[in-house]
Amino acid sequence: MHAPFPALRLRRTRSAAWSRRLHRETTLTPADLIWPLFIAEGEGVEEPIASLPGVSRWSVDGIVSRAREAQALGIPCLAFFPNTPAHLRSEDGREALNPDNLICRAIRAVKEAVPDIGILTDVALDPYTAHGHDGLVDAAGYVVNDTTVEILVGQSLNQAAAGADIIAPSDMMDGRVGTIRAALEADGHANVQIMAYAAKYASAFYGPFRDAVGSRGLLKGDKATYQMDHGNAEEALREVALDLAEGADSVMVKPGLPYLDIVARVKQRFEVPVFAYQVSGEYAMIEAAVAAGAADRDAIVLETLTAFKRAGTSGVLTYHAVHAARLLGA
């Protein structure tokens, strides 16, 4: 005679779709998404990016159209990245300080057309330097910290003056968050947020992004002297602690899925808003799997984005934002 089965059957609450929805612990909505967009010169321009199938660079008028699309889908925030023309790139990245550069023009145009959508702007010099690094480089090829921070402050004020809502320093220079925060306060931008790329790793997943912003092939050496080693976790917590102490309103972990352990540890340790960037290489792998017939796009997009939320993120930067928002709104 068989012993009686335990009173609790965990499959009981999974037995019907309505019950699975009722008991779901983690939910995903369009309000959890930030859509990264690449900006190109010109008018009426759409330039597909070969290494990011389904993603294009858009001229400013196209960016405005994308902003209207995002607002209609309930996506609350856009992230802007410029593809600076080669003739405007320089050793010192001075185009970052131009109040009429690509990113500033896009900010103003979107804020005029769709004033209620949030705009996040990247602060780093790699879209503007001839050498592809995030900061200024000395004669030995080393990215210097403090003089780079001075330029980043000017870049931040330039973007804030154009109407950016969130300044997102992605450069990984020491001390830049506190210096930028002080400058924003002094310049009358008290309500401009800082989302610090606090744990940004020197990753192999960034390749397609460099195609998108036109820096592929420019980089001399690598970024290992300022971005984090992928073997380190405790160091990420130290980086986050410093950025929060310096005035960051939220922090980011980048890349995303390979670093969900870092997301979870940051959330558990600090209990602050944590974001993750599902970077270009992650997106490209998903699209390659779909193209090979190895994955269903709808299912894998929603599953991976839910994984970010389950790990503790407040939101995710993802090139699948529009696709996911359409699925979630269906």
Q: Across residues 136-143, what is the average pLDDT?
A: 94
Task: Say if residue 293's pLDDT is above 90.
Answer: yes
Tell me the per-residue pLDDT of 200-234, one tens digit each, with 9 for 90 and over: 999 999 999 888 988 777 887 899 999 999 999 99
CB 238 within 8 A of CB 63: no
Alpha carbon distance, N-terminus to C-terminus of the chain: 50
Q: Across residues 114-134, what is the average pLDDT?
A: 96
Q: State yes or no: is 309 an active-site residue.
A: no
Give pLDDT, residue 165. Answer: 98
Which is catalytic among the residues 111, 220, 223, 254?
A: 254
Strands, E assignment, 156-234: 166-169, 193-200
Round to whole Å and give the CA distance between 34 and 52: 17
Task: Say if residue 273's pLDDT is above 90.
Answer: yes
Instruction: Write down how long the chain is.
Output: 330
pLDDT tier for residue 113 given thresholds of 50, 70 and 90: very high
Burial of 127 (0-12, 13-18, 19+ CB in 10 A): buried
Round to whole Å and give the CA distance between 171 and 307: 26
Which is catalytic among the residues 111, 200, 223, 309?
A: 200
Give CA 143 to chain center in angstroms: 22
Burial of 11 (0-12, 13-18, 19+ CB in 10 A): exposed
Tokens of 121: 């702007």
Task: Say if residue 174's pLDDT is above 80.
Answer: yes
Q: State yes or no: is 223 an active-site residue.
A: no
